[in-house]
């Protein structure tokens, strides 16, 4: 039986009314498409406020039974609403056909908005290793975290300039490449956000179990959601679900069963 997994990120609720409208449209599209499970990889809120998290919970109520999330750096500022999203640094949960390893890649410095870079400790890597080792057979294994794990360009000219002068808040996780090496051959997906422009990387293409690394981008601005199809622990297709009600032909998952 083919199942679907949707990947949203960087909703930034509280930034503007447009973001709330964007999330409402995303939820409508997900419900109409009958997506089986939904993950959100951080920056759920823009200012870490409890009322912003409450807005997220109200807007996603129709999919609350199929929803998994991790916090991002924006969720740690203000009232630190991110602390209500996850307990501990690493946790795992099993869903139908899925095994999700949740990683909190934020750190104490993320209470300051300018220090947006994340953190992966050696202890985090050990805990992720142990969680992946516990994955059942014949399920899709995905690691979820907010910060990017390999080098990506900045979202705008200011981030490009910041990267050129070596400001840390633009950089990938320092132990991100080490994490990817540990996961190769044992995991199917690494899903993240933080960068608002979508990106993708495949490690071990042509191997028995390639590792797909995907950034959802800023879902509320993009107006579309990254989708994955899977069956029996194998990724069978991927693509995008459009939120625009004027394009109903693109609000379906039927075309995603082509080889990934």
Give the tens place of pLDDT for each residue, 87-118. 999 999 999 999 999 999 999 999 998 899 99
Contacts of 108 (CB under 8 A, 6+ apart): none
Residue-range domain boundaries for the chain: 3-256
pLDDT of residue 151: 83
The model's confidence at residue 152, banded by pLDDT at 50, 70 and 90, is: confident
109: region left, alpha or beta (phi > 0 left; psi from -120 to 50 alpha):
alpha
Q: For a pLDDT cut of 90, what percent of the chain falls above it?
A: 84
The model's confidence at residue 171, banded by pLDDT at 50, 70 and 90, is: confident
Average pLDDT of 41-48? 98
| C-alpha separations of 120 from 74, 141, 154, 171, 230 in Å | 17, 20, 20, 13, 28
pLDDT tops 60 at residue 259: no
Cα 176 from chain centre: 15
CATH of 3-256, one of 3.10.310.50, 3.60.21.10, 3.20.19.10, 3.30.70.1290: 3.60.21.10
Dig out the tokens for 245 from the structure: 């009600």
Rounded CA separation 148/151 (Å): 7
- Between 152 and 63, the more confident residue is 63
pLDDT of residue 257: 45
User: Considering the chain, what is the average pLDDT of its residues?
Assistant: 91
Q: For a pLDDT cut of 70, what percent of the chain falls above it?
A: 87
Residues 57-81 have pLDDT tens digits of: 999 999 999 999 999 999 999 999 9
Which residue, 212, 218, 216, 234, is CA-closest to 226? 216
- Between 118 and 255, the more confident residue is 118
Q: Which residues pair with 41 in a beta bridge?
A: 70
Average pLDDT of 107-133? 95
pLDDT of residue 113: 85
Residues 1-10 have pLDDT tens digits of: 899 999 999 9
Average pLDDT of 237-242? 95
Rounded CA separation 35/253 (Å): 8
Which residue, 20, 26, 33, 17, is CA-closest to 251? 33
SS3 for 139? coil
pLDDT of residue 160: 59
Phi, psi of 67 (to 5 degrees): -125, 135
Give the single-character DSSP code of 75: G
Rounded CA separation 109/87 (Å): 18
> Sheet containing 224-231: which strands, arranged edge to edge?
67-70, 37-41, 3-8, 224-231, 234-242
**What proportions of the chain, in percent to the nearest 5, are helix, strand and coil?**
35, 25, 40
| C-alpha separations of 130 from 30, 135, 182, 186, 213 in Å | 32, 9, 11, 12, 20
Average pLDDT of 224-251? 85
């Amino acid at each position: 039986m083919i199942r679907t997994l949707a990947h949203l990120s960087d909703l930034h609720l509280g930034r503007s009314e447009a973001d709330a409208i964007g999330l409402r449209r995303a939820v409508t599209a997900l419900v109409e498409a009958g997506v089986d499970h939904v993950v959100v990889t951080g920056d759920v809120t823009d200012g870490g406020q409890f009322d912003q998290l409450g807005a997220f919970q109200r807007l996603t109520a129709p999919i609350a039974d199929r929803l998994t999330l991790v916090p991002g750096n924006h969720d740690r500022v203000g009232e630190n609403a991110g602390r209500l999203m996850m307990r501990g640094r690493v946790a795992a949960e099993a869903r139908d056909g899925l095994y999700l390893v949740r990683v909190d890649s934020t750190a104490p410095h993320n209470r300051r908005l300018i220090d947006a870079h994340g953190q992966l400790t050696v202890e985090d890597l050990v805990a992720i290793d142990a969680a992946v080792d516990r994955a059942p057979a014949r399920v899709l294994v995905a690691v979820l975290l907010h910060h990017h794990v390999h080098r990506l360009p900045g979202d705008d000219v200011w981030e490009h300039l910041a990267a050129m002068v070596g400001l840390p808040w633009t950089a990938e996780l320092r132990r991100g490449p080490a994490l990817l090496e540990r996961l190769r051959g044992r995991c199917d997906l690494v899903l993240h956000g933080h960068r608002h422009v979508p990106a993708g990387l495949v490690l071990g293409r042509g191997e028995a179990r390639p590792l797909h690394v995907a950034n959802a981008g800023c879902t509320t601005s993009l107006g579309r959601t990254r989708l994955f199809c899977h069956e029996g622990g194998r990724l069978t297709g991927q693509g995008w679900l459009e939120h625009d009600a004027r394009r109903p032909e693109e609000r379906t998952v039927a075309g995603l069963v082509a080889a990934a």
